[in-house]
Structure 1
Amino acid sequence: MTAFEPLPSVAGGPAGSWPNRFAGLGGDFFTELPARGLPYPHWVATSPACAALLGWPADWANDAALQVLSGNAVWPGMRPLASVYSGHQFGVWAGQLGDGRALLLGEVDTPAGPQELQLKGAGLTPYSRMGDGRAVLRSSIREFLCSEAMHALGIPSTRALAITGSALPVRRETMETAAVVTRVAPSFIRFGHFEHFAHHGLHEPLGRLAEFFIAQYAPECLDAPLPVAALLEKVVRQTAELVAQWQAVGFCHGVMNTDNMSMLGLTIDYGPFGFLDGFDPGHVCNHSDHQGRYAYARQPNVAFWNLHALAQALLPLLPGEGEGAGEPLLAALEVYRSAFPAALMRRLRAKLGLLAEREEDQALSDDLLRLLAAHRIDFTIAFRRLSAISTDPAQDGTNEALRDLFLDREAFDAWAGRYRARLAAEQSRDAERQARMRATNPAVVLRNHLAEGAIRQAQAGDFGEVTRLLKVLQRPFDEPVSAADADFPPDWAQHLEVSCSS
């Protein structure tokens, strides 16, 4: 790569000194370099909720901020850097990867703890491989909206502060325009950071990374007999909870490579993601995933596979050698086998409005999902309508909106009879249960056609729909003002495709 001049520093800024704990790990972990900014940038959208997380004032998005978040300048104290990592992509070792289009700017101290800011799409880095280091407006809008939507759903996620855009042309399948997303998270460290050093036999920096991560993000592991094994168990539990939340809301990640798995249990790297419309356990949201490795129903097992890869990377840090050396890590991995189904069942009970735990709940929820799959019934709408179901025989007419979704009415009626009996067994009160269910089963998720509508308007120069949709997605459990936001997808949405270039 060609050397670049340091970026100009602009005065002020909404934060202080921009500390960077990750940079303290040393040069084995990153390359320090300036961004390659966007020419003549403009604001596309900002997230007031994310800015509030950072403790920034309402008027933070000024001209200086536009230049900084477009990669044209820095605030004093920022040290842009790209980190190196490796990983398995579609189950195959991919070798060295790294931040090919992302730059870490530094940290903001907030009441919730330090938050890192990262630019995505700010130009070439030493880890760009054959890429151009850019992000396009289309994929940037999708990541921005989904990052904030997932947070509003209560699902751990990286956040998105802003999108800036430019007329700079970028080629993907067609010619598009460039954009930069500002992402926010306590840490962007991934499974792949550990895999990188383990694969190359670099055990000293591997140990340094583990010590750093435990000290900064998992200090409770320090007092364990084997802190590395305790760390793995923590990551196993966090990942199990995260994937259970994905499954419960019908979210498909689309590219669950080990380099896209967060050590903090966050949803990270929104590329070819999607939310289920008609319920299909075999749904593959990534048009590039020709083998269906990351299909919706396979996500829990893929997460377990990825955790095995992380355990293998941590193995050199355990004392001793030989066949039994890895037993503590295997024991930590085994936690997933019970933690994931328990986490998923908790969420399914909540979606069904059940308070008590009963043995028949598993069959009740499984049978409903089978009915949804058999009829390809809309996942989000079905559970939202279930939230209004009444157990009062005099109110049976209010249940027709749900019943009408099913072609096999008798099969649904049989299931609904079991469900009502289950509610009666715990003396469920309709009004209280319905309120709980409406706070669990969203009315609105970021369906592909909603994102596509915002993208098409933005590509025509109108960013109003991005801002409007953001406001709707930040209140997903409320009935939206526009009924179309919560309605069935239009016919043309069946032909939308997202791929790894998205």
Structure 2
Amino acid sequence: MNDNKNLALHNSYLTLPKCFYERIEPTPVSDPTLIYFNENLAKKLNLEFLCYDKSLITNYFSGNKLPDNCKSLSQAYAGHQFGNFTMLGDGRAILLGEQIDIHDNLYDIQLKGSGRTSYSRGGDGRATLSSMLREYIMSESMYHLNIPTTRSLAVINSGESVYRESHNQGGVLTRIASSHIRVGTFEYGKHFCTKNDFKKFIDYVINRHFPDLLNEKLAYLELIRLIMRNQIDLIVNWNRVGFIHGVMNTDNMSISGETIDYGPCAFINDYNPNTTFSSIDHNGRYAFGNQHKIAYWNLTVFAGTLLDYIDNDKNRAIELVQDILNQFPIQYSIKWHDMMFKKLGIETPIDEDKNLIEKLLSLMQNHKADYTNTFAALTLNKSNNDSLSESDGFMDWKNKWKQRIKNNENSYKIMQRNNPLYIPRNYLIESALTNCVNGNNKEFDGLLKIMSETYNYELDNHELQISPDGFDDHYKTFCGT
């Protein structure tokens, strides 16, 4: 059997003007070893045949062997990083192509850590094994938390050393995404391509990712509305589980509304909207409670790239776009409150219920209560035996809340669907990564398994719900580039 015939990748990106990409192949690695392969994801992608050939997996997803007729490329994009515009691009990632899944949806298959490209900006084009394992476990955890995300198909130990302040084992990740197009790709098109080439790109995005807009008279305007909706839904979901992305630059905002790039991300333990863990976020720009504001900022940048194509009268174009962007805080507030009502099991909310949310969050912040455990305890109708649950203010709040939901038999079912029992806690992630890099996968496997059942309230593994005192006080995350 021809081992390539089932991996017949498309690459529609090659239909775009050449300013948007570089045709390039991965740089082979010296001694690849398969560490993880996501068989369930492979089956969904119509790649089940790979599950039976470890050698083929290792060669394909290390970049040492390309499928027949594969026309790989790296994508060009720009971006605002911490508010400053810069030229970027896939400096260590190469898009192999697109695969049709079992539901006839098209997904990108990209190798990350696969060698230098024209966009490497002096970098080595490689990645550490630890950072690729982090993305694997974080993205799969987010998937099981029911949050839109890119996914991870494989992690390969490259057998080579990568220097990041010290020598590390190298790794290559296979990332799956419905799109790798970012707000920063639109910025690149506007600033570095011709107006005609950029229009071809915008039309490509609509045709591939938003085909319902093809017959819309104001398709470019509606594109802003749809991408804004996707981003609001995503940020609300992040808030639901206490996720902090850590580096919400415009090049890390996917137009598909999927979480992308898991470098300095983390989850909050003690509730505080000002929480940030990223070592480079010195001023809290991307703090937990600021993420929706940054999403809005990024969307204004995105909308600005389309003004020339919305109306010949620039003032009129700005007016039309501003009308859409002005809806952001309103829509975000509605969806955020709806999410919080579900976390509290309130099925038919009234205005007064907003006071319940605000009071609870205030109490949680004052008592440094664990975000995940507080809502899990409410769902389980038990006490956490912490300073919050023993306080008079919380007891008073809880009595009012119980009165509010007492006649609704669906309340606890709603809460179970929206409040995870487990998150990939920071100390668990660090311990699992350290051991996995050193050849012991037990903790990593255990964390993957428990995250696949994070809404199973018949499980109650108290050990995994504990966050060690003081661990987060000095905890920092890093980009890994």
Common fold by TM > 0.5 = yes
Match of 1:255 among 237, 247, 255: 247
Mapped pair 1:52 → 2:32: no
In the alignment, the residues of structure 2 paired with residue 331 and residue 121 of structure 1 have an alpha-carbon distance, to the nearest angstrom, of: 41
Aligned partners of 2:17 and 2:197 also within 8 Å: no
Decide whether aligned partners of structure 1 residues 466 and 281 sit closer, same or farther in structure 2, where only a CA change above 3 A counts.
same
Q: Is the 8 A contact 2:300 2:325 kept in 1?
A: yes
Residues 101 and 122, structure 1, Cα contact 8 Å, conserved in 2 = yes
Matched, 1:361 2:353: yes
- Taking the aligned partners of 1:198 and 1:190, their CA distance within structure 2 comes to 13
Q: Measure how far apart 1:102 and its partner are.
A: 0.6
14 and 266 in structure 1: CA distance in 2 versus 1, 3 angstrom threshold: farther
One of 408, 411, 429 as aligned partner of 1:433:
411
Q: Distance between the aligned counterparts of 2:300 and 2:192, measured in 1? A: 18
Q: In structure 2, how many angstroms separate the alpha carbons of the residues matched to 1:52 and 1:451?
A: 27
Report if aligned partners of 2:405, 2:411 keep a CA contact under 8 Å in 1. no
Match status 1:37 vs 2:28: yes
Matching residue within 96, 102, 113 for 1:111? 102
Letter in 2 for 1:380: T
Relative to structure 1, the CA distance from residue 14 to residue 487 in structure 2 (aligned partners, 3 Å threshold; closer, same or farther) is farther
- The residue that corresponds to 1:7 in the other structure is none
Alpha-carbon spacing, 1:13–1:201, altered in 2? closer, same or farther (3 Å): closer
Deviation per CA, 1:148-206: give whole Å up to 9, x if none.
11111111000111100133111113211110110001111101111012123621121
- Superposed CA RMSD in Å reads 1.9
Amino acid at match of 2:401: Y
Q: Distance in 2 between matches of 1:79 and 1:471?
A: 36
For the residues of structure 2 that align with 1:404 and 1:302, how far apart are their CA atoms? 33
1:306 to 298, 301, 314: 298
CA distance in 1, matches of 2:6, 2:279: 40
CA distance in structure 2 between the partners assigned to 1:385 and 1:37 by the alignment: 50
Instruction: Say which SS state the counterpart of residue 397 (structure 2) adopts.
Output: helix
CA 231–61 in structure 1, closer or farther in 2 if over 3 Å, else same: farther
1:486 equivalenced with 2:462 (yes/no): no
Name whichever of 479-488 and 29-38 sits farther off.
Answer: 479-488
Structure 1, unpaired ranges of 5+: 1-9, 390-398
Matches within 5 A, 1:176-215: 176-200=168-192, 202-215=194-207
User: Which of residues 363, 373, 386 in structure 2 aligns to 1:371?
Assistant: 363
In structure 1, C-alpha distance between the alignment counterparts of 2:356 and 2:93, rounded to whole Å: 45
Say whether residues 1:317 and 2:317 are aligned partners.
no
Instruction: Mark the CA change 1:119 to 1:136 in structure 2 (over 3 Å): closer, same or farther.
Output: same
Q: Deviations over 1:388-437 (max 9, x none)?
A: 22xxxxxxxxx4x246441761110121122122113xx123xx432331
Measure how far apart 1:142 and its partner are.
Answer: 1.0
Deviates more, 1:208-217 or 1:18-27: 18-27
Query: Which residue matches 1:473?
Result: 451
Whole-Å separation in 1 of the counterparts to 2:46 and 2:443: 26
Question: Which sits farther off after the overlay, 239-248 or 415-424?
Answer: 415-424
Pair 1:167-2:159 in alignment: yes
1:64 to partner: Cα distance:
1.6
C-alpha spacing 1:199/1:478, structure 2 compared with 1 (3 Å): same
User: 1:392 maps to which residue?
Assistant: none
Query: Secondary structure, in 3 states, of the residue corresponding to 1:347?
Result: helix
Q: 1:341 aligns with which of 309, 330, 333?
A: 333
Q: Which one of the candidate residues 412, 423, 439 is aligned to 1:461? A: 439
Greater displacement, 119-128 / 330-339: 330-339
Match of 1:101 in 2: 92
Q: How far did residue 66 of structure 1 move?
A: 0.4
Instruction: Using the TM superposition, give the Cα deviation of residue 459 of structure 1 relative to its aligned residue in structure 2, in angstroms.
Output: 2.1
What is the rounded CA distance, in whole Å, between the counterparts of 2:301 and 2:259 in structure 1? 18
The residue correspondences of 1:410-425 to structure 2 (distance < 5 A) are: 410-424=392-406
Letter of the 1:42 counterpart: T
The counterpart of 2:380, out of the listed 388, 411, 420, is 388
In 2, the alpha carbon distance for the partners of 1:481 and 1:360 equals 33
TM-score, structure 2 normalization: 0.95
Q: 1:288 aligned to 277, 280, 290, which one?
A: 280
How far, CA to CA, are the matches of 1:168 and 1:481 in structure 2? 41
Q: Which runs of 5+ in 2 are unaligned?
A: none
- Per the alignment, in what secondary structure is the counterpart of residue 107 of structure 1? strand
In 1, Cα distance between equivalents of 2:229 and 2:156 = 36
Please state whether the residue corresponding to 2:375 is helix, strand or coil: helix
CA apart distance, 1:216: 1.2
1:399-414 correspondence to structure 2 within 5 Å: 399=382, 401-402=383-384, 404-406=386-388, 409-414=391-396
SS of structure 2 residue aligned to 1:452 = helix
Rounded to whole Å, the distance in 2 between the matches of 1:359 and 1:385 is: 25
